[in-house]
Structure 1
Amino acid sequence: VVVMSWWRKGWGSEGVETDTATQKILAAAERAGLKVAFHLEPYDGRSVGDVRRDVAYIVDRYATHPAFYRDTNGMPVYYCYDSYRTPPGEWADILSKHGKNTVRGTPLDGV
């Protein structure tokens, strides 16, 4: 499994256009027989709503790619860098089963 940095739709902080890089990485991973998981980077102003939108974009754009990594239960795997900067109560909004904007039990659900 290859874990790639995701800076959100558009340009990353390193001047790399995220979608172009993602397409190239997924294609190379597929050729090499590897899978790709996403590491969600902490861009300025990132909120849990932004993370939810980022995951929705990733799922919509890349989840059908053969190199998109899923665990043994078929769940996508995401790493959220600097998650400690957001209070647990805010994360509960999208990560708890009964959160107002939960991803649990939806196509956006993941590990």
Structure 2
Amino acid sequence: AIVTSPLVRAVQTAELVQAALKPDGSAPWVQVLPSLAPGYPPRLPAEELATFGVSVLVVGHEPGISGLGAFLSSRPGFPPFRPGQICALERGQPEWLLNPESETFEPLLLG
């Protein structure tokens, strides 16, 4: 699944990722998750994300998106995101980031 904040730039980013993953239109659907908007505590989107299955691609905003990453990985902090950056979650844990400048996937290593 691809889930996104309802804010316009996040939805646009999610749609671009969807198109890049499967240009033929067979990519996962884009689901708007209001609790990914700024101001919500990370517990709310985390509970909703649990209903989407094993793999979820999340598009959101700072500082909430790194707060969500910290919550999901049970850590006190999480690397801050740059504009246009996305993170993949696998089995409830962050797996990789997409670097928006180089358009490359990078492993997300949390110490």
TM range (shorter): 0.3 to 0.5
> What TM-score do the two structures reach when normalised by structure 2?
0.34
Greater fraction strand: 2
The structure that is helix-richer by fraction is 1
Larger Rg: 1
Instruction: With a CA cutoff of 8 Å and minimum separation of 6, indicate the structure with the bigger relative contact order.
Output: 1
TM-score (ref. length: structure 1): 0.34
